[in-house]
Amino acid sequence: MEFNTIIEPFRIHSVEPIKMTNEVQRREIISKAGYNIFNLKSEDVMIDLLTDSGTGAMSKNQWAAIQHGDESYAGSPSWEIFRSAVTALFPFKHVIPTHQGRAAEKILFSVVGGNGKTFPSNTHFDTTRANIEFTGATALDLVIEEGTQPRTIHPFKGNIDIDRLERLLRELGPDQVPLVMLTITNNSGGGQPVSMQNIRETREVCDTYNIPLYLDACRFAENAWFIHEREHGYDTQSVPDIVREMAGLADGMTMSAKKDPMGNNGGWLALNDDQIAQEARTLLILTEGFPTYGGLAGRDLEALAVGISEAVSHDYLKYRIASTQYLGDALDKAGIPVSCRSGGTQFTLMRGPGYAT
Ligand SMILES: Cc1ncc(COP(=O)(O)O)c(C=O)c1O
């Protein structure tokens, strides 16, 4: 039977009108933009597939949380609500809020980076790579071979190559490798997921050489969903439990809350190391703000707290991945190249237009 998309698990509660254009107008608009989509005015774009980063609609409970936000400079209750929501899934000792993901990266790598250091990953996202290289350090991508072959079908094409990682850590050791990073899902590699087994094996190699493991966890909920769907033994586990297991294998994380945490802005750095956390908070104050709000308003902290818990809903993730697959298959049938047929993220543009608002 032909695959059909599934019913979205929400009602649309407000709508944003879009400007309708015809092909002739669109050709003119894109020509004027020099064929660079970043030069387009968003009002001229009928279907905006540029990114889902921070562009999605918030749920009614997120909007309600905005009203609940407390804008006290220090010690706002909104901070506690945010911190509890983060640690419910990612039980790290220190949570440091930032205005978006790259600010968390900038702070982390300013503390641990520098000339002569090397940071291996499955694939660094471009801002992560830039923040590493800006300190004089080297960013190294070690994704498995299948992850570099767009047409190869493999359930976890975001996995890091454990043998190459092991050889590297043996050669360089903890003085030159301050941490290993896993991007889940592997966004720059087509949004491909990383298996729990691969995270566990990465942890074991890191332990052998006494090197911490960090997650770039922007798509944590999708990654957990793929583990739930594809990895032996996880079909009976809840997504929140899978997220906690992933987090439990790591020493810290960076997060862009503009992705799975359903925010229009936000991010955080979370970690267990007291010394790094102290230095990170000092840098935070220079560019982001006081440690109980970072770069965020109290209302943003509260909206994110709700988004984090809504992002791990099974019904929602099932819908999100199914509609992504539907789009991918339709594009494939139409002969349009698709780079991530078995992964999720690049097509997770579907959450935007109507998530429960
Ligand atoms: C995997 C990954 N890491 C980091 C970032 C940077 O986050 P932000 O855009 O919030 O600075 C992104 C953004 O797309 C990302 O996808």
Residues 81 and 52 in one domain: no
**Residue 352 pLDDT grade (very low, low, confident, very high; cuts 50, 70, 90):** very low
Structure-block tokens of residue 200? 């566990």
Tens-place pLDDT, residues 268-327: 999 999 999 999 999 999 999 999 999 999 999 999 999 999 999 999 999 999 998 888
Structure-block tokens of residue 1? 């039977």
Residues 52 and 65 in one domain: no
Q: How far apart are CA 115 and CA 71, in angstroms?
A: 40
Indicate whether 7 belongs to any domain: no
**Residue 328 pLDDT grade (very low, low, confident, very high; cuts 50, 70, 90):** confident
Indicate whether 36 belongs to any domain: yes
pLDDT value at position 169? 98
Q: Which of 52, 122, 126, 127 to mutate to test the pocket of ligand 1 (most atoms within 8 A of CB)?
A: 127
Bigger pLDDT: 342 or 240? 240
Protein residue with its CA nearest to atom 8 in ligand 1 = 101
Q: Which of 119, 256, 264 to mutate to test the pocket of ligand 1 (most atoms within 8 A of CB)?
A: 256
Residues 261 and 320 in one domain: no
3-state secondary structure 14-77: CCCCCCCCCHHHHHHHHHHCCCCHHHCCHHHCCCCCCCCCCCCCCCHHHHHHHHHCCCCCCCCH
pLDDT value at position 171? 98
**Residue 11 pLDDT grade (very low, low, confident, very high; cuts 50, 70, 90):** very high
Query: Is 165's pLDDT higher than 80?
Result: yes
Q: How far apart are CA 198 and CA 147, in angstroms?
A: 13
Residues 79 and 192 in one domain: yes
Q: Could you tell me the distance, in angstroms and rounded to a whole number, from the CA of residue 183 to the centre of ligand 1?
A: 10
Q: How far apart are CA 137 and CA 112, in angstroms?
A: 10
Q: How far apart are CA 85 and CA 97, in angstroms?
A: 12
Indicate whether 326 belongs to any domain: yes
Q: Which of 132, 181, 187, 264 to mutate to test the pocket of ligand 1 (most atoms within 8 A of CB)?
A: 187
- Ligand 1 within 6 A of CB of 100: yes
- Say how many domains are in the chain: 2
Residues 42 and 67 in one domain: no
- Ligand 1 within 6 A of CB of 113: no
Last residue of a domain, one of 310, 326, 345: 310
| Domain residue limits at 320 | 23-57+313-354
Q: C-alpha angle 21/24/28, rounded to 5°?
A: 95
Protein residue with its CA nearest to atom 14 in ligand 1 = 53
Q: Could you tell me the distance, in angstroms and rounded to a whole number, from the CA of residue 54 to the centre of ligand 1?
A: 10
pLDDT value at position 150? 83
Q: What is the CATH number of the domain that holds 44?
A: 3.90.1150.10
Q: Could you tell me the distance, in angstroms and rounded to a whole number, from the CA of residue 23 to the centre of ligand 1?
A: 33
Residues 204 and 327 in one domain: no
Structure-block tokens of residue 193? 């997921």
pLDDT value at position 52? 87
pLDDT value at position 3? 62
Indicate whether 122 belongs to any domain: yes
Sheet holding 252-256, edge to edge: 94-98, 267-271, 252-256, 213-216, 180-183, 118-121, 138-141
- Ligand 1 within 6 A of CB of 99: no
Query: Is 2's pLDDT higher than 90?
Result: no
Tens-place pLDDT, residues 26-74: 999 999 999 999 999 999 999 998 888 999 999 999 999 999 999 999 9
Q: What is the CATH number of the domain that holds 83?
A: 3.40.640.10
Q: How far apart are CA 199 and CA 260, in angstroms?
A: 19
180: β partners: 213
- The stretch 171-185 carries a mean pLDDT of 97
pLDDT value at position 13? 92
Q: How far apart are CA 117 and CA 112, in angstroms?
A: 9
Q: Which of 51, 53, 262, 268 to mutate to test the pocket of ligand 1 (most atoms within 8 A of CB)?
A: 53
Indicate whether 289 belongs to any domain: yes
Residues 209 and 345 in one domain: no
DSSP result, 109-133: HHHH--TT-EEEES---HHHHHHHH
pLDDT value at position 349? 34
Query: Is 332's pLDDT higher than 60?
Result: yes
Query: Is 220's pLDDT higher than 70?
Result: yes
Rounded to the nearest 10 degrees, the angle between the axes of helix 126-134 and helix 101-112 is 30
Indicate whether 224 belongs to any domain: yes
Protein residue with its CA nearest to atom 15 in ligand 1 = 125
pLDDT value at position 348? 35
- Lowest average pLDDT, out of 142-146, 156-160, 167-171, 328-332, goes to 328-332
- Ligand 1 within 6 A of CB of 185: no
E strands present in the chain: 94-98, 118-121, 138-141, 180-183, 213-216, 252-256, 267-271
pTM as predicted: 0.93
Q: Could you tell me the distance, in angstroms and rounded to a whole number, from the CA of residue 255 to the centre of ligand 1?
A: 7
Residues 184 and 296 in one domain: yes
Q: Which amino acid is at 39?
A: N
Q: Which amino acid is at 179?
A: L
Residues 181 and 321 in one domain: no
Residues 229 and 344 in one domain: no
**Residue 200 pLDDT grade (very low, low, confident, very high; cuts 50, 70, 90):** very high
Residues 251 and 328 in one domain: no
pLDDT value at position 347? 39
pLDDT value at position 340? 52
Indicate whether 9 belongs to any domain: no
Indicate whether 18 belongs to any domain: no
**Residue 342 pLDDT grade (very low, low, confident, very high; cuts 50, 70, 90):** very low
Q: How far apart are CA 213 and CA 127, in angstroms?
A: 19
Residues 47 and 75 in one domain: no
